[in-house]
Amino acid sequence: MSVARRNRPRPTVGRVLTVVGLYVLMTLVAVSILFPVVWMLYSSIKTNQQILNNVFSLPTAFNLENYRNLFNGGQMPVWLANSVIVTLVSVVGIAILSALAAYGFAAFSFRGKEKLFIFCLIGLMIPPQALIVSGFKWMSLFALIGSRWALILTYLGWISFGVLVLRNFFQAVPKEIIEAARIDGANHWRIFTRIMLPLARPSIGTVVVLNFMWVWNDFIYPLVYVDSADRYTIPLGILQYQSRLGVQWGTQMAALSVAAGVPLLIYLIFQRQFIRGILAGSLKG
Amino acid sequence: MRRNTRWGALAAAGAAAVLVLAGCGAGDGGKSSSGGSMTLLSEWTDGGSAASIQSTIDSWNKANPDNKMTQRSIGNEDFMTASRTAMSGDNPPDVLQFEGFSDTVDYAKAGKLVDLTGWWNANKSRFALADSPGVTRSCTYQGKVYCVPMSSNAQSVLFYNAKMLADNGIAPPKTYDDVVAAGEKLNAKGITPIALGDKDGWPGAQLWMTFVAQLCGTTMADQAVDRKGPKWTDQCFTDAAAQVDSLRQKGFFPKGVVSDDYNGMVSLFESGKAAFISTGSWFIGSWQSAPPPFQVGAEYFPPVTGAAHPDDKVAYGGDVVGIPTGGKNQAEAMKFLDYMTSLDQAKVWAKNYYFSAVKGAVAASGPANIKDLYDQTASAENTLGSLDLQLPPAVGQDVLYNSFQSLLGGKTTPQQFTAALEKSAQATQGPSQP
Amino acid sequence: MATLTTEASAAAHGSPRVGRRRRKWPALIPFLGPALGFYLMFLIIPLAGTIFLSLTDWNGFDFGKIDFVGVTNYTALAHDPVFKSALWHTLIFVAVAVVLKTVGALAASLAINERLPLATLFRGVYVMPTVISMVVIGVVFNLALSPTLGLINPFLDAIGLGHYAGTWLGDPNKALPIIILLDVWQNFGIYMLIYISALVAIPEDLGEAARVDGASRWQEIRRVTIPMLRSTTGIVMLLAGIDSLKVFTTVYVMTRGGPDHATEVLSTWGYDQAFTQNDVGYGSAIMVVLLAIAFVFAFVWLRFFRKVGE
């Protein structure tokens, strides 16, 4: 990196303008993104009436009543627990399954591999709404409706994205590395665990983070597969604060803040992982 | 390399821990089939109803520790998805709250609801509107009764911000012309007269129905629904749409009338930015958690001058409860139903601003400002059930909502609206023959 | 192990297939097997169920009364004006969204890869919309765009562009473009992440070579970096396309498909038919059409990016 810097020509007017323009554009986009987040957070410390009076005004007092309602009187702890359990198990499962399958696609060749790969992409093509009716009946046959496993097993079928991304990554690993390992006597398992997985950390990170968000925010499956209030996940629970007849804005914003907090945390954790992978220099092989 | 192993071990340990937790909770797939527990599924998520049903359940559980009831509620349109799916499965709730009319027909036809005719005939004297079309059509299928009304919704209600009217020198309107005059005065001052947000389609459609009841009358409208002669293209239905259109042309509705949703229109009214709001009595129930900071007046939407049926109202059993035949505990569920609709329990609901269908509840414990509205509802003779609920969804929820929404956006004329409605009704239900 | 020797010698002899087929399957199964197992059980089988349902007439909750009607639902699609609109809207959505998402993600990832100050911050922020539930985004933007309660019209007034004020989501002509923009805004962060993880893997020396030859940073990006991202661009376009095809929540939360079906897309219309109109067979048929289109899209993509497929 330092070599590149030294060789770089002195900044021209053009370059300065480009950089400034870039910053302005990027800041505008960033502000438009932060705005809903910030609004959600500061609305969660306003009372319902305050929000109604002026939707976008800043709060005048720090009022944690909404959060208190969620946790003391409300069911948020239950929802949080259910969401955490279901999402963690599902995402760990998805990561393991996709990495294994991606390696299978990348390292072996066999007849029909292409077709099988496209077949595995079907999962990306269907909106979940298309599957809940038949999925409900299918799960009923196993008497799983109402259990967290109905959700977890369903999410474990969401391997398509992981397989796509990781297969792409594994295929791009230089052949020399693999050949060298083979010559050293490594079998597929060792290549997979000792070479491929460590190299793929950023991509695995991406797969984990994104699947975490998708599973965490999913509400269509819980809507249909859960039949008792003590198994509600957060997206389903948030519907408590909406009804056809009115929204409890304040409490809903607090619930949404909690709901957004966890994936954000996961992202922050994996962001650091991301950087560590880069700094380790293991990719500059 | 060492880093990898540590990460791997950590991940494995974490996964194992979570798997154990998941396993703990997953063993109880489905409900326990041993006698002694029941479930209720409802839409009662908002403040007043949620508190009421929980209170009813708590007192039932205290008196019946061997047959406890638990409940779950889902708000919004998603309730439809969840409830229909639940009804299709092997473990439907023991008691289901729904909205009657076409839902009752669907469920009863499929044999999914227990026949309550006997119980209803024995108990109907304690319900308001028991013989009025708004209730009978909601729960009756082929002569048998399959559900019981919990609420007597008044739908064509005009609420007003008493303080705002007073501040602007407007007396509470008694006639339709008063309303128009008030609206024009408010418009001149830059205040939105009537809060309305029709993104979901039903708030606007309900306004149309208000005028349908007044201009066409309950009987004719019900016959149009049943395809027994009158058509939606008949003059009075178009006139009803034209009434709303004239209000639109006068600029009585907010600019966002097409894209704001129900919550938006409520926010507009409750934040004091609009003087009137026309919606149903359920609006009152939402005050339980956060009453508006001003006095709210409520009365039925005054009839249009010269209306043929000035006393006809849109009012009906809004929330109905039934007992799914797939339930495992029907006898106890029946007892719970009886308990829920007892006067004592109904009084609790009424105290929470609920328009209980049980006679005498609101009179005994309802808040003062709704008693008058309630009395008018309870004693109404010609009550029209909400047309979007009565019609099959393809007509009542697709064409009715979308086409009327387009009218509110100024893109569809009243004639085009009723023509579209009739066309859809003919396609779905067949022609209308006396 | 015999496998290795066989493989190594086969590689040395330049014929990788000899001897592999016999030994390959036991090694392959632990890799592909588990994922395929869950996938088949919990995704493909329900999908097969949906395809079956598309050949039936069913109201959705009475399992005793499913009537098999063959392709009637599909022929009915041809006479359904809303279906045709929804199809059209979906195709427009895909075409526009894919381009915007790819270009946007690429631009953002390149900018962030420059390692200018605050780059990490921007990267973190740009991924945030994926974290935030669509409910919040929907609520905020519905409010912000509301002509009644919102910010946008007053804002336009304030900067002198008041004549552009309108009903936004209530305007049948503007609603779809607005939703497409919103979907791009919400999702480009994912594709940016994918680009970044690919950019990070590009060795610096390649760029060095170009720079030593006198190329500017921009030329270096254009001539060296972007071509190296070809396979990633392929992935991004595939994902963006498929995602845009099946978009549901964004449309549902913002407009429910309105006003008067102006923003109706295939997934929302299918859902409406299945769960509001109680015509599960017809709704399933619409979903199957959506799936078919996705297939076509994927095959076209394969043709284009065959090099990546290997």
Q: Residue A119 belongs to what H/E stretch? A: helix A113-125
Are C12 and C107 part of one and the same domain? no
SS3 of residue B69 by DSSP: strand
CB contact under 8 A, B88 and C63: yes
**Structural contact between residues C187 and C247, judged by C-beta atoms closer than 8 angstroms:** no
The CA distance from B183 to B169, in Å, is: 12
Q: Is the peptide bond before B291 cis (omega within 30 degrees of 0)?
A: no
- Range picked from A183-197, B59-73, B369-383 for highest mean pLDDT: B59-73
Q: Give the pLDDT mean for A104-132.
A: 88
Q: Considering the domain boundaries, does residue C91 fall inside one?
A: yes
Are C169 and C29 part of one and the same domain? no
The one-letter amino acid code at B189 reads K
CA pseudo-torsion sign A110, A114, A115, A120: positive
The CA distance from A52 to B272, in Å, is: 9
Q: Considering the domain boundaries, does residue C57 fall inside one?
A: no
pLDDT of A244 strictly over 60? no
Q: Considering the domain boundaries, does residue C117 fall inside one?
A: yes
pLDDT at B1: 39
Are C147 and C284 part of one and the same domain? yes
Residues 6+ away with beta carbon under 8 Å from A18: C218
pLDDT of A116 strictly over 60? yes
Beta bridge partners of B152: B317
pLDDT of B220 strictly over 90? yes
Q: Encode pLDDT of C122-141 as tens digits.
A: 888 888 887 777 877 887 88
Residues 6+ away with beta carbon under 8 Å from B327: B38, B92, B93, B94, B95, B333
Which residue of A lies nearest to B45 if distances are taken between CA atoms? A240
Q: What's the whole-number average pLDDT of chain A?
A: 83
pLDDT of C7 strictly over 90? no
Are C129 and C266 part of one and the same domain? yes
Q: Which of B29-33, B176-180, C256-260 has the lowest mean pLDDT?
A: B29-33
B411 touching A (Cβ < 8 Å)? no
Are C264 and C138 part of one and the same domain? yes
Which residue of C lies nearest to B394 if distances are taken between CA atoms? C277
Q: Give the pLDDT mean for B68-80.
A: 86
From chain A, the residues in CB contact with B11 under 8 A are 92
Are C22 and C117 part of one and the same domain? no
Confidence at B17, pLDDT banded by 50, 70, 90: low
**Structural contact between residues B107 and B322, judged by C-beta atoms closer than 8 angstroms:** yes
CB contact under 8 A, C256 and B200: yes
**Structural contact between residues A88 and B18, judged by C-beta atoms closer than 8 angstroms:** yes
Q: Considering the domain boundaries, does residue C253 fall inside one?
A: yes
CB contact under 8 A, B259 and C168: yes
- Which pair of structure tokens corresponds to residue C235? 């992935």
pLDDT at A276: 55
pLDDT at B29: 40
Q: How many CB atoms lie within 10 A of CB B187?
A: 14
State the residue for tokens 């949703």.
B261
Q: How far is A226 from chain C (nearest CA, A)?
A: 17
Which CATH number covers residue C158? 1.10.3720.10
State the residue for tokens 């009152």.
B284
User: What domain range includes position C7?
Assistant: 2-40
Beta bridge partners of B69: B38
pLDDT at A227: 86
Q: Considering the domain boundaries, does residue C53 fall inside one?
A: no
pLDDT of A4 strictly over 50? no
Are C176 and C289 part of one and the same domain? yes
- A73-284, CATH topology level: MetI-like fold (1.10.3720)
Are C148 and C286 part of one and the same domain? yes
Residues 6+ away with beta carbon under 8 Å from C54: C73, C74, C281, C284, C285, C287, C288
Q: Considering the domain boundaries, does residue C74 fall inside one?
A: no
Q: How far is A150 from chain B (nearest CA, A)?
A: 9
CB contact under 8 A, A244 and B75: yes
Confidence at C268, pLDDT banded by 50, 70, 90: very high
Are C12 and C147 part of one and the same domain? no
Q: Considering the domain boundaries, does residue C47 fall inside one?
A: no
CB contact under 8 A, B256 and C143: no
Q: Considering the domain boundaries, does residue C72 fall inside one?
A: no
pLDDT of B5 strictly over 50? no
N-terminal to C-terminal alpha carbon distance within chain A:
16
Q: Encode pLDDT of C109-120 as tens digits.
A: 888 887 777 887
Q: Residue B141 belongs to what H/E stretch? A: strand B140-141
Closest CA to A124 of C188, C32, C243: C243
The CA distance from C158 to A241, in Å, is: 35
State the residue for tokens 């490594």.
A186
pLDDT at A182: 82
Number of domains present in the structure of chain C? 2
Q: Where are chain A's structural domains?
A: 2-65, 73-284
**Structural contact between residues B317 and B153, judged by C-beta atoms closer than 8 angstroms:** yes
Q: Between B327 and B48, whose confidence is greater?
A: B327
pLDDT of A3 strictly over 50? no
Q: Give the pLDDT mean for B49-59.
A: 92
- Give the ipTM: 0.84
HSE (side-chain half, CA atoms, 13 Å) at C1: 14
Are C162 and C227 part of one and the same domain? yes
